[in-house]
Amino acid sequence: MRRAVCPGSFDPVTNGHIDIVSRASNLFDEVVVAIGVNASKNRLFTAEERMEMLRESVAGFDNVTVDGFTGLLTTFCAERGIHAIVKGLRAVSDFDYELQMAQMNASLTDVETVFVPTSPEYSFLASSLVKEVATFGGDVSALVPAHVNERLRARVAERRAQGGS
């Protein structure tokens, strides 16, 4: 059984993420989309909300499941018998950091990182930019699934009502 993990923060999941997951699901027998729940970044959505959005987004893929992990990704891989990490590469600017992480992860456990080039239509897409555009009232409906767009609009409205940006 060839198993892979697609790790990320997914705050929130975008169409670019789904493209990478879809292609990983063609390459591997089983794919686990794993949400890193380490509290290192300023999140717009809780881990549970991110998980719900991901589950809805990948419901159409028979061999894809969603899970969360704390701590090291390599520990999660070792516990699950996963030997491949799939990462999307949008541009050369992604490469330096991703290569460093791939080499560090390979040094920690028996795991290979497989880089999948992002489809050109998503090469500019990042959750951080989606959040910024949505926060200032921009239209991100072409960049995220419809259910994620609804949640984004609701969260932005909530934050505004609370006096945030």
The least distance separating ligand PNS from the CB of residue 130, rounded to whole angstroms, comes to 12
Could you give the angle at which helices 127-135 and 146-161 cross, rounded to 10 degrees?
Answer: 50
Q: Is 88 in the site for ligand PNS (CB under 6 A)?
A: no
Q: How far is the CA of 72 from the CAs of 14, 89, 141, in angstroms?
A: 23, 21, 33
The only residue of 89, 101, 106, 133 in contact with ligand PNS, by rule CB under 6 A: 101
The separation between CA 92 and the C-alpha centre of its own chain, rounded to angstroms, equals 19
Amino acid of residue 138:
G
Work out whether 57 is an interface residue with ligand PNS (CB under 6 A).
no
Considering only the stretches 3-11, 117-125, 140-148, 154-162, report the one whose residues sit in contact with ligand PNS under the rule CB under 6 A. 3-11
Structure tokens that stand for 94 in this block = 């992604």
59 binds ligand PNS (CB under 6 A): no
CB 26 to ligand PNS: min, Å: 21
Q: Which of residues 119-158 bind ligand PNS (CB under 6 A)?
A: none
Q: Which two tokens stand for residue 124?
A: 């500019």
Q: What is the dihedral of CA 126, 129, 131, 135, to 10 degrees?
A: -170
127 a catalytic residue: yes
- Listed in sequence order, the residues at least 6 apart from 115 whose beta carbon sits closer than 8 Å to its beta carbon are 87, 88, 89, 98, 102
Residues in 24-43 at the binding interface with ligand PNS, rule: CB under 6 A? 36, 38
Nearer to ligand PNS, 104 or 154 (CB): 104
Which has the closest alpha carbon to 73: 164, 149, 4? 4
Residue 8 interacts with ligand PNS (CB under 6 A): yes or no: yes
Enumerate the active-site residues.
17, 41, 90, 127
Residues at the contact surface with ligand PNS, assessed by CB under 6 A: 7-9, 36, 38, 72-73, 101, 104-105
